[in-house]
């Protein structure tokens, strides 16, 4: 147990060392979501109407926070599949270290990474006039839900990384993550979409987290009438737990299957 923590920390430190050695790519990774935010706030924002009224930027920012968490799956995928292809995973497996450390270290590093990204986005939001209105505690609960979604998607990233084992496949993943990210309530109300598409968007786990965050921050939401729209707080917990329940065991099995 002592080694599980110590080894996990060593693997996390390895990722933190990456930041120090690649400051440029860190800046790009932190700046990219801010750029998307600026695009939607100022390029398209003028023609956006918030359902039920309100400032579009107030509506947009919780969505952007959620989207940044969803994009994190790409970083996890790339890191996991690169280690498998380079043989680093096999070297770890041939060493007398705690087997859990590879994954514990990876998740800690990714969570730190995403938390840093969220801090930058929140700072950008505050600079643009976005505010939380219902107190610090509820705002922190919203941040907690956002990080919970990131944690759930981490396991999707680990599983896909172990399954596909090719870092180049991140291109394919991006092609999937973007439409799935946009097929949500991040930028517009699902009620503006064709009914079937709107329903899909409402049931997107990202939508649940974003709705819940809007509610907790006291920002304008889209306030749909459907069951899923009425229970976003519940679903913002249920979806991530469900994702972890599916992809955590799948990842463990994949990892063990490397010995077959």
Partner 1 sequence: MITAEGISKTYKTTPALDGFDLDVPKGTVCGLLGPNGAGKTTAVKILATLTRHDRGRATVNGYDVRTQTRHVKASIGLLGQHAALDEVLSARQNLVMFGKLFHLGSSAAQKRADELLIRFDLADAGTKDVSKFSGGMRRRLDLAASLIRNPPVLFLDEPTTGLDPRGRNEVWQAIRALARDGTTVLLTTQYLEEADELADSIVLIDGGRVVAEGTPAQLKARLGADRLEVTVRRAEDLARAKEILDASEVDEPARRLRAPAGQGLAALVQVAQVFQASGIQVEDIGLRRPTLDEVFLSLTGGDNR
Does position 101 bind partner 1 by CB under 8 A?
A: yes
Beta carbon of residue 254, minimum distance to partner 1 (angstroms, whole number):
15
> What would the two tokens of residue 113 be?
């990474």
Does position 26 bind partner 1 by CB under 8 A?
A: no
Beta carbon of residue 201, minimum distance to partner 1 (angstroms, whole number):
37
- Residue at token pair 């599949």: 81
The DSSP H or E segment spanning 99 is none
Taking CB under 8 A as the binding criterion, the range among 11-19, 173-181, 229-237, 245-253 that sits at the site for partner 1 is 11-19
Taking CB under 8 A as the binding criterion, the range among 13-21, 58-66, 143-151, 243-251 that sits at the site for partner 1 is 13-21
Residue 176 near residue 164 (C-beta atoms within 8 A): no
What does the alpha-carbon distance between residue 203 and residue 197 come to, in Å, rounded to a whole number?
10
What does the alpha-carbon distance between residue 175 and residue 40 come to, in Å, rounded to a whole number?
19
Query: Which residues, numbered 40-99, are part of the site for partner 1 (CB under 8 A)?
Result: 85-88, 90-97
Which of 22/226 has CB closer to partner 1? 22
C-alpha torsion angle, residues 136, 233, 62, 181 (rounded to 10): 150
- Residues lying near partner 1 in the complex (CB under 8 A) are found at 3, 6-7, 10-11, 13-14, 17-18, 21-22, 85-88, 90-97, 101, 258-260
């Amino acid at each position: 147990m002592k080694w599980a923590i110590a080894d996990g920390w060593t693997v996390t430190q390895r990722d933190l060392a990456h930041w120090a050695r690649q400051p440029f790519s860190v800046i790009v990774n932190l700046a990219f979501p801010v750029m998307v935010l600026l695009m939607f706030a100022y390029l398209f924002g003028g023609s956006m109407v918030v359902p039920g009224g309100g400032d579009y930027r107030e509506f947009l920012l919780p969505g952007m926070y959620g989207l940044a968490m969803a994009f994190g799956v790409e970083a996890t995928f790339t890191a996991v599949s690169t280690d498998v292809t380079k043989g680093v995973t096999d070297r770890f497996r041939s060493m007398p270290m705690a087997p859990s450390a590879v994954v514990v270290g990876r998740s800690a590093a990714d969570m730190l990474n995403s938390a840093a990204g969220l801090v930058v986005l929140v700072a950008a939001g505050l600079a643009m006039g976005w505010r939380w209105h219902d107190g610090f505690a509820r705002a922190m609960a919203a941040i907690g839900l956002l990080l919970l979604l990131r944690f759930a998607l981490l396991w999707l990233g680990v599983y896909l990384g172990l399954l596909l084992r090719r870092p180049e496949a991140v291109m394919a993943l991006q092609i999937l993550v973007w439409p799935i990210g946009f097929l949500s309530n991040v930028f517009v109300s699902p009620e503006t979409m064709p009914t079937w598409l709107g329903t899909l968007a409402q049931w997107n786990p990202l939508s649940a987290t974003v709705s819940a965050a809007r509610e907790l921050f006291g920002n304008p939401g889209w306030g749909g009438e459907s069951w899923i729209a009425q229970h976003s707080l519940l679903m913002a917990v249920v979806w991530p737990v469900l994702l972890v329940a599916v992809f955590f065991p799948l990842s463990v099995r994949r990892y063990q299957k490397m010995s077959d």
